Structure 1
Amino acid sequence: MLNWIKEFFEMYPPYQPKFSFLLHKQYSHDTNNLLPYADDEALEFLQYMNKHGYLDNTMLMIMTDHGARYSQFRTSYQGKLEERLPFMSIRMPPKFQQQYPHLMRNLRLNSHRLTTPFDIHETFLNLLDFHSHQGEYQSKTKRSYSLLQLIPETRRCEESAVENHWCTCLEWSHISLTSSVIEQFGQAAVHFLNYFVRDVKEKCAQLTLYQILKAHQASIRNKKKQFYQIQFETRPGNGQFELTATYNQSTQTFDIKKTSLSRINKYGSTSACIAHKRPEFREICYCSMNAKMSRHS
């Protein structure tokens, strides 16, 4: 893949605008143990790009879509943060750094503030329109900033279109696993999983709640709504999930969304029966054929 980027830059002249977005997962997707093998390869690539002047007029971004989120590590608090706080590194061309020190200052300060993928997109819009606007750049939407703008220290998840499930700014407190609201949440969660895959219920086993592993409540001052998060395990298949939901005090019901659900242990080929035709169900579905084989083994 890195050779492809080299050829990409070699093929087109320096003055021609270029954009490349590539995903490399060979070394790190399932384990961190192989990452050292990528060190020399990555170093050689960066030295090559710098030596040939390809970085003189290029914004280079190296980022991940998530951190380590596998095995028992994911059930820990650190594993939760790894899923929500991916690594990102940005290197601007030397001439840009010299010509626009105030923008570089903003970029560095923003590394210590709440940022989202929406901001990355806004940054691209900023750069594509860089010389046409006068004065400070104005974001196209309220939910995002260019990373070259100074992001407010007081920025919150809700104004950045970040759902509570993915927000790392919230304070959570432990709550008893046997409390009535958590027991209700657990049953509602499993009902949601079964309902979500209802279109393929003839292939996917009916899930039941085996146990609730962890339970937390967000410290938010809202008399009408409360926010809860649980880690729970289902049978058959021993699927483990993390789910965040809003509890409506007046209706005493949970508002559950698929976007607030994380699968926190590997599902491998247990959803192979629907994986190609309905990939959106892979992390939830446990194929009925697996359940039948388990009973007969």
Structure 2
Amino acid sequence: MILCFDSTSHNGFKRRMPHSYKALQDMGAIIMHGYNIVGDGTPAAIIPLLTGKTELDMPEMRKRFANSNAVDPENFIFKMLSKYGYRTAFFEDSPWIGTFQYRYNGFSSQPADHYLQAFLQEETKYGAKWWNGINKRHCIGDTPQYGFLMNMSKQVTSLAEKHFCFTFIVDISHDDFNMITSADDDLVAFIEHMRYSGKMENHLFIVMGDHGSRFSGLRETYQGKIEERLPLMAIMLPEKLIQTRPEALTSLQNNAHVLTTPFDIHTTLVDAMGLPELANDYVVLGSDIPRGMSLLEPIPKSRTCGKAGILSHWCVCSKWYPVLPSDRLYTQASAALANFVNNVTYDVRSNCVDRKLTFIDWVMKLSNNDDFLSFKSGIECNGQHETYVKADVKSRPSVEYYQAKITMSPGRAVFEGTMKYYVNTEHFVVSDSDIQRITAYADEPSCISKTHPHLNKYCFCKDKASKLPFT
């Protein structure tokens, strides 16, 4: 049983859900303090957990891309477990912006035995209920939507046969994380139900977040940047598993302060079910350990982001040092990031404006001693975009990594990006997979959202820009 809350960092959960956090501690939950995201947004958190893979490891499923198809349920843990006699459930609210509907083509067929997507699409009128004001937005009848999903999840945990349930609650934390507090007492009740009903005898129970806040005012601070990368991950093992494999609990406890990822959760799930053959055995080039490791086995404390499959932009273990404004690369790195933002919208320039760099917040350089995963040459998250920018520098190590935070107009679009710099050829490589926008774009890209959703964070529609003052 996995209960996931959108945009929920470890520290954010402690602040806004204090009763639930205490209930987890009282239940003996192991809190994973080194749980690190591996990419931007919900898909980068959920896909590895449910498949053991990244989206690039699977057939093309993004909207408007060549040879793109619907998402194949056969790649997901639901279908895999069905072959072993499990009843499966996948519950997710806010289906109009669903994990596999917003940027992807949706599933080719029902991914799990119990799936609420069609019901919630109809109940919300494909999102119209959400956009028509706040009245009753968060409820189904007289029941909070999160409560409805919890109730459905509780029913699944009461099934007599083997079962697996992944529930993703979005509406009370995605736009305004402060609202999650409204679910604190109800989550306590859910946790206590699992604890005192006897279900923990044979249930692996996880309460987690996909990532921290991505667009709030907090996210623009250093604290928010770290919290985004460290979501909540609380794990409670079945009593039977602890009895038969006491070393599993010891390993989990020891791994609580080790670098871990969503890939590890997938491997842990199938390990706990006695199905280790379902784990993904992919090994990052140059590594001597699998990318996904079971938390029920010892994980080396020396594990690095590179070996765990975490790009340097998302790694909280990396050491970054400020670049002075007087350094030429301060300006060059910022220009590289700004040029990339405009280059990716070049093909839709008839709809999207050419943004302008208005402010450089900071530029940082990665310590040369850090071990990290380098960019996949030619295979970036958007499938095609790489940008090369000439820079004038003195002799340096052959490869360096820079990170910049910039603000661009129109509007106030704040971007953070990590760039690979080749000193010998004096150019930057900028990848979509390591650029994030940390201010909400709202309806800025409405003119291309349906046709090019992967460009939403970059595009400001010309028809909207023409209505702004001083444009």
- One-letter amino acid of the structure 2 residue matched with residue 225 of structure 1: V
Partner of 1:234 in structure 2?
Answer: 408
- One-letter amino acid of the structure 2 residue matched with residue 294 of structure 1: L
Partner of 2:213 in structure 1?
Answer: 68
Partner of 1:44 in structure 2?
Answer: 189
Q: In 2, are the aligned partners of 1:139 and 1:146 still within 8 Å (CA)?
A: no
- One-letter amino acid of the structure 1 residue matched with residue 464 of structure 2: N
Displacement of 1:186 in angstroms is: 1.6
Query: Please, which of 231, 256, 281 is the counterpart of residue 140 of structure 1?
Result: 281
Partner of 1:157 in structure 2?
Answer: 305
Q: In 2, are the aligned partners of 1:71 and 1:265 still within 8 Å (CA)?
A: yes
Partner of 2:458 in structure 1?
Answer: 284
Partner of 2:442 in structure 1?
Answer: 268
Q: In 1, are the aligned partners of 2:266 and 2:279 still within 8 Å (CA)?
A: no
Aligned partners of 1:212, 1:296: CA distance in 2, in Å?
Answer: 21
Aligned partners of 1:49, 1:159: CA distance in 2, in Å?
Answer: 35
Query: Please, which of 173, 176, 191 is the counterpart of residue 31 of structure 1?
Result: 176
- 2:239 paired with 1:94: yes
Partner of 2:251 in structure 1?
Answer: 106
Displacement of 1:124 in angstroms is: 2.4
Aligned partners of 1:49, 1:73: CA distance in 2, in Å?
Answer: 33
Q: State how many pairs are aligned.
A: 290
* Larger CA deviation: 175-184 vs 254-263: 175-184
- 2:350 paired with 1:202: yes
Partner of 1:59 in structure 2?
Answer: 204
- One-letter amino acid of the structure 1 residue matched with residue 248 of structure 2: L
- SS in structure 2 of the partner of residue 267 of structure 1: coil
Q: In 1, are the aligned partners of 2:410 and 2:465 still within 8 Å (CA)?
A: yes
Q: In 2, are the aligned partners of 1:50 and 1:56 still within 8 Å (CA)?
A: no
Displacement of 1:152 in angstroms is: 0.4
- One-letter amino acid of the structure 2 residue matched with residue 166 of structure 1: W
Question: 1:9–1:280: structure 2 CA closer, same or farther, 3 Å change rule?
Answer: same
Q: In 2, are the aligned partners of 1:243 and 1:260 still within 8 Å (CA)?
A: yes
- SS in structure 2 of the partner of residue 109 of structure 1: helix
Aligned partners of 2:208, 2:346: CA distance in 1, in Å?
Answer: 36
- One-letter amino acid of the structure 2 residue matched with residue 187 of structure 1: A
Displacement of 1:265 in angstroms is: 1.2
Displacement of 1:245 in angstroms is: 0.9
Aligned partners of 1:281, 1:295: CA distance in 2, in Å?
Answer: 24
Displacement of 1:56 in angstroms is: 2.1
Partner of 1:225 in structure 2?
Answer: 399
Displacement of 1:138 in angstroms is: 9.1
Partner of 2:18 in structure 1?
Answer: none
Q: TM-score, normalised by structure 1?
A: 0.90
Query: Which has the higher relative contact order, 1 or 2, with Cα contacts under 8 A spaced 6 or more apart?
Result: 2
Q: In 2, are the aligned partners of 1:122 and 1:140 still within 8 Å (CA)?
A: no
Displacement of 1:276 in angstroms is: 2.6
Question: 1:219–1:62: structure 2 CA closer, same or farther, 3 Å change rule?
Answer: same
Question: 1:70–1:138: structure 2 CA closer, same or farther, 3 Å change rule?
Answer: closer
Displacement of 1:92 in angstroms is: 0.7
Displacement of 1:247 in angstroms is: 0.7
Displacement of 1:167 in angstroms is: 0.7
- One-letter amino acid of the structure 2 residue matched with residue 87 of structure 1: L
- 2:233 paired with 1:85: no
Aligned partners of 1:169, 1:282: CA distance in 2, in Å?
Answer: 29
Q: In 2, are the aligned partners of 1:233 and 1:239 still within 8 Å (CA)?
A: yes
Aligned partners of 1:226, 1:114: CA distance in 2, in Å?
Answer: 23
Q: In 1, are the aligned partners of 2:320 and 2:365 still within 8 Å (CA)?
A: yes
Q: In 1, are the aligned partners of 2:334 and 2:363 still within 8 Å (CA)?
A: no
Q: Structure 2: which 5+ runs fail to align?
A: 1-148, 283-289, 370-395
Aligned partners of 1:80, 1:118: CA distance in 2, in Å?
Answer: 21
Question: 1:296–1:245: structure 2 CA closer, same or farther, 3 Å change rule?
Answer: closer
Percent sequence identity is 31
Deviations 1:130-171 (A, max 9, x none): 5x88xxx99723222111111101111111111000011111
Q: In 1, are the aligned partners of 2:268 and 2:293 still within 8 Å (CA)?
A: yes
Q: TM-score, normalised by structure 2?
A: 0.58
Question: 1:114–1:50: structure 2 CA closer, same or farther, 3 Å change rule?
Answer: same
Aligned partners of 1:286, 1:38: CA distance in 2, in Å?
Answer: 35
- SS in structure 2 of the partner of residue 255 of structure 1: strand
- One-letter amino acid of the structure 1 residue matched with residue 353 of structure 2: A
Displacement of 1:193 in angstroms is: 1.3
Aligned partners of 2:413, 2:317: CA distance in 1, in Å?
Answer: 27
- One-letter amino acid of the structure 1 residue matched with residue 281 of structure 2: K
